[in-house]
Amino acid sequence: MTGIKIDGIEIAKNVKDRVRKAVDELKKQGINPCLATILVGDNQASATYVRNKHKACEEVGIATKDFKLAANTTQLELNKIITDLNNDKSVHGILVQLPLPSQLDEFATTSRISPLKDVDGLTPHNAGLLAMKKAALVACTPSGVMEMFDYHNIALEGKTVVLINRSNLVGKPLYHLLLARDATVITCHSKTKNIKEMCQMADIIITAVGDRNKFTLTQDMIKKDAIVIDVAISRYEEKLSGDSDYEQIIQKASYATPVPGGVGPMTVAMLLKNTITAASLSSQIER
Ligand code: GUN
């Protein structure tokens, strides 16, 4: 018997339906939720992600502002745009698509965003609140993964979760979200010596490496009935692929996410949800 597919398209649709209703409510109160995105340079994958985010906003009635900046944009120029957006009352969420070209500093950039408009949950303020279990705005991919667990009523208390990622956008927020739900969380990374053994003892594996030449999660690395969440997406052997082969993993896992159609759609859906939260936050403060 094979495991159950965690279908990101279906769960994202469910989130979007809720967001659509929240947008209508906000509009009745005279608030027109708006997300501003900033894309610097000509990274094709980033351009596609931003386009998808705009399309999803349109689907649920969220307005957008689209800033496409030249690859040689300076830190000062980028800072000025962020400051203007921080002060623009018609904008509720600000997203700077990552990665940035090398002349730009990721921390200097994201920490400049007003915490109230920080729909990526990347500012030190929001990252700190998350560690204290008080965050309103949490990074989209991690909160999307949590939404997937909840959709399937997957209990996390006491479960051993192995995370294969330690980034500010994925691994660290997931660590705090899972810990807050009483899971035992082990964070693995490029210098971890015994990833295979770590994975073999995990009830849940969340993998986000994104380079199959460096890492593949294979069937022999998971225990029977483990849950596998594959956050990665990259091009491998002419097709889009995660860190694992879904068809192989699902033979042994109790639940697993496919790629594409797994975590990816959840990231976009949670961005919409965060934009609504940000719009509500700023309207409460203005009242
Ligand atoms: N690049 C890849 N994923 C993300 C994300 O969730 N937010 C931003 N800002 N950049 C990304």
- Residue 94 counted as an annotated binding residue: no
Neighbours of 13 (CB within 10 A): 12
Selected from 3.30.1300.10, 1.10.3980.10, 3.40.50.720, 3.40.50.300, the CATH number assigned to the domain covering 140-265 reads 3.40.50.720
- Among the atoms of ligand 1, which is closest to the Cα of residue 98? 10
223-234: per-residue pLDDT in tens? 999 999 999 999
Calpha distance 242→239 (Å, rounded): 10
Q: For residue 111, how far is its CA from the centre of ligand 1 (angstroms)?
A: 15
Distance in Å from the first CA to the final CA of the chain: 56
| Token representation of residue 248 | 């192989």
Res 285: pLDDT: 67
Examine domains 28-114 and 140-265 and report if their fold is the same.
yes
Alpha helices in the chain (DSSP H): 8-28, 44-60, 75-87, 106-110, 124-131, 140-151, 171-180, 195-200, 246-249, 263-286
Q: Which residues of the chain have pLDDT under 50?
A: none
Torsions phi, psi for 94 (to 5 deg): -125, 125
The candidate with the shortest Cα–Cα distance to 272, out of 95, 149, 128, is 95
Q: Can you tell me the distance from the alpha carbon of 261 to that of 240, in angstroms, rounded to the nearest whole number? A: 11
Q: Is 166 annotated as a binding residue?
A: yes
4 is in an annotated binding site: no
Q: Where are the domains of the chain?
A: 28-114, 140-265
Which residues 6+ apart lie within 8 Å of 1 measured at CB? Answer: none
Lining ligand 1 with CB less than 6 A are 95-98, 120, 140-141, 169, 267
Contact yes or no for 15/275 (Cβ under 8 A): no
Residue bearing the CA closest to ligand 1, atom 9: 97
Per-residue pLDDT, 286 = 63
Report pLDDT for 116. 97
What CATH number should be reported for the domain whose range is 28-114? 3.40.50.10860
Which of 98, 132, 273 lies closest to 281 in space, CA to CA? 273
